[in-house]
């Protein structure tokens, strides 16, 4: 997973509960808003809490969310767990 806000950071994987926010660099956060089957809908929030980008992807696809040229989020939706009500994102 790659987070870029002037400086790029990489992490191996992250598990996020559906409906919960995951804090990123620069005051940004990402939230898996909803899931349906093998598809998840994500929203990117800025430091003021406003939605700046949204995207729905299938398991195995890339989540690419951008806020103008200020911030970039890139990860792969590795899996959706209905048991734990979570999504797993990775590089």
Domain ranges of the chain: 2-90
Q: What is the pLDDT of residue 89?
A: 92
Work out the pLDDT band at 86, boundaries 50, 70, 90: very high
- Say whether pLDDT at 42 is over 60: yes
Percent of the chain with pLDDT over 90: 71
Contact (Cβ atoms closer than 8 angstroms) between residue 81 and residue 13:
no
Arithmetic mean of pLDDT, 60-88: 92
Q: What is the pLDDT of residue 11?
A: 58
**Distance of alpha carbon 19 from its chain centroid, rounded?**
11
Q: What is the pLDDT of residue 6?
A: 43
Distance CA 72, CA 58 (A): 20
What does each C-alpha distance from 65 to 7, 33, 70, 82 come to in angstroms? 16, 14, 11, 24
């Amino acid at each position: 997973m790659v987070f870029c806000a002037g400086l790029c950071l990489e992490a191996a994987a992250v598990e996020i509960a559906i409906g919960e926010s995951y804090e990123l660099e620069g005051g940004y956060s990402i939230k898996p808003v909803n899931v349906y089957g093998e598809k998840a809908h994500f929203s990117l929030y800025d430091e003021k809490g406003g939605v700046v980008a949204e995207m729905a992807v299938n398991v195995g696809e890339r989540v690419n969310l951008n806020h103008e040229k200020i911030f970039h989020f890139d990860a792969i939706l590795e899996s959706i767990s209905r048991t734990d009500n979570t999504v797993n994102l990775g590089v």
